Amino acid sequence: MSVIEEGAKKSGVLWLSLDRPRLAWHTWHDGAIYVVTGGGEQSLPGLTEAGRVQVTLRSKDNGARLVSFDASVEVVDQAEAADAVAALAKDRLNAADGAGLTARWAAESQVVRLTPR
């Protein structure tokens, strides 16, 4: 297991270098990090238009920077990436509409795959 995979699995949040460093919750699934943005979810301005982004993972033990890396950015078709969307929904804490969460995402949000380069 790589340091990136281990860090992404152990911590539920990361930092993305966008207009400024942005904290985002995520999930690790099938070799990539997935985040959701828009539609009442976390605001990650510019992410969906970016070709790549710098990701920083923190240590769950002490909160210090564990690793930073470039990742390619891809907005996914939520129907085609149903397993990843289900994993992301499972890790979504405190959702007001748990049963309708993925339907709301399909209508209002974008799910983004961040693949380490």
pLDDT for residue 50: 96
Confidence of residue 51 (pLDDT cuts 50, 70, 90): very high
User: Average pLDDT for residues 24-37, to the nearest whole number?
Assistant: 97
Boundaries of domain holding 31: 3-116
Q: Which two tokens stand for residue 37?
A: 């943005």
DSSP assignments along 31-79, one per residue: TEEEEEESTTS---TTTTT-SEEEEEEE-TTT--EEEEEEEEEEE--TT
CATH code, 74: 2.30.110.10
Whole-number percent of the chain with pLDDT over 70? 100
Q: Which two tokens stand for residue 71?
A: 């990742």
pLDDT for residue 61: 74
Q: How many domains does the chain have?
A: 1
Q: pTM of the predicted model, to two decimals? A: 0.93
Query: Per-residue pLDDT tens for 52-108?
Result: 999 999 877 777 788 999 999 999 999 999 999 999 999 888 877 777 899 999 999
- Is residue 38 pLDDT above 90, yes or no? yes
- Give the three-state DSSP class for 28: strand
- 């990539």: which residue's tokens? 32
Q: Which two tokens stand for residue 16?
A: 């993305």
